[in-house]
């Protein structure tokens, strides 16, 4: 029988960190399956990778917030006789604003993409990953170490990713399955522009990382078998000191930061994905 096609399955691959991770995996000899909502952007990335002499990635357009999305991806992979040997859970989005002021359906969508899809894909393909001693790269954020008034659901969703990824890494250590959680700080992607965050002031002007550099750190950490990757010394310090700051101080600080962002917006509900 023919061997199944081993692929790196990358969600949120239409741009930003996901697209740059796909490029890095391709440069290092991996075959790919790309997932995002935009078929056009995925096709363009697949053409770019194929143009470099690599196998053309599978293009799997899918809305991870939709019911049955995990089954759709699994069926498309099976139809192509492809099996994930590395799973990159990168897709996610956030909403800027207070919980009571935001659309409840859109906030539930954050859970669907940032948590439900990540967990669903991990559970669905865990047997294959264990059998092949594969790897999982979950993209979280430094905000997963903080409470997030003003972006409460998004911050909480990333806290789940941080906690789940580290626990899963421990559970699978005897199976030689690497689970790495990538926690970038401020990163220049489409996330900020679509959210309406100002990009010409403060840290967004001088302290933000590029998606390419964050992707490179994530790839290197995954290949090294690291459990947690936090690019940048400043981000590491933030994550380590956050639990030491009293909530009475931390909560107003985060809320104030989000309030300053919200005053820059022309609309009350701001959608961002990456």
Q: What is the DSSP string of the chain?
A: -PPPEEEEEEESTTSHHHHHHHHHHHHTT--EEEEES-HHHHHHHHHHHHHTTSPPPEEEE--TTSTTHHHHHHHHHHHTTEEEEEEEE---EEEES-GGGS-HHHHHHHHIIIIIIHHHHHHHHHHHHHHTT-EEEEE--GGGGS--TTSHHHHHHHHHHHHHHHHHHHHTGGGT-EEEEE---SEESHHHHHHT--SSSHHHHHTPEEHHHHHHHHHHHHHTT-SEE--SHHHHHHHHHGGGS-HHHHHHHHHHHHHHHHTT-SSS-EEEE-
Cβ-based neighbours of 40, under 8 Å, separated by 6 or more: none
What are the catalytic residues? 154
Q: Which of 39, 3, 273, 13 is nearest to 137 (CA)?
A: 13
To the nearest 10 degrees (0 to 180), the angle between helices 118-131 and 152-171 is 20
């Amino acid at each position: 029988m023919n061997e199944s096609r081993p692929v790196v399955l990358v969600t949120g691959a239409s741009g930003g960190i996901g697209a740059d991770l796909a490029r890095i995996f391709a440069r290092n000899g991996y075959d790919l399956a790309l997932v995002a909502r935009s078929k056009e952007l995925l096709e363009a990335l697949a053409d770019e990778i194929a143009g470099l002499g690599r196998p053309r990635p599978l293009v799997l357009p899918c809305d991870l917030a939709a019911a049955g999305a995990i089954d759709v991806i699994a069926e498309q992979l099976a139809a192509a006789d492809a099996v994930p040997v590395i799973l990159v859970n990168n897709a996610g989005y956030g909403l800027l604003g207070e919980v009571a002021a935001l659309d409840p359906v859109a906030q539930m969508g954050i859970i669907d993409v940032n948590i439900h899809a990540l967990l669903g894909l991990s559970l669905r393909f865990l047997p294959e990953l264990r059998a092949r001693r594969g790897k999982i790269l979950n993209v979280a954020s430094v905000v997963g170490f903080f409470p997030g008034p003003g972006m409460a659901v998004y911050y909480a969703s990333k806290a789940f990713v941080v906690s789940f990824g580290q626990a899963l890494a421990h559970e699978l250590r005897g199976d030689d399955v690497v689970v790495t959680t990538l926690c970038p700080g401020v990163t220049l992607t489409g996330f900020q522009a679509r959210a309406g965050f100002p990009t010409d002031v403060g840290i967004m002007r001088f302290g933000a990382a590029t998606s390419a550099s964050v992707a490179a750190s994530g790839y290197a950490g995954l290949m090294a078998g690291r459990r947690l990757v936090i690019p940048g010394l400043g981000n590491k310090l933030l994550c380590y000191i956050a639990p030491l700051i009293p909530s009475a101080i931390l909560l107003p600080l985060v809320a104030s930061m989000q309030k300053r962002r919200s005053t820059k917006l022309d609309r009350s509900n701001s959608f961002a994905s990456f």
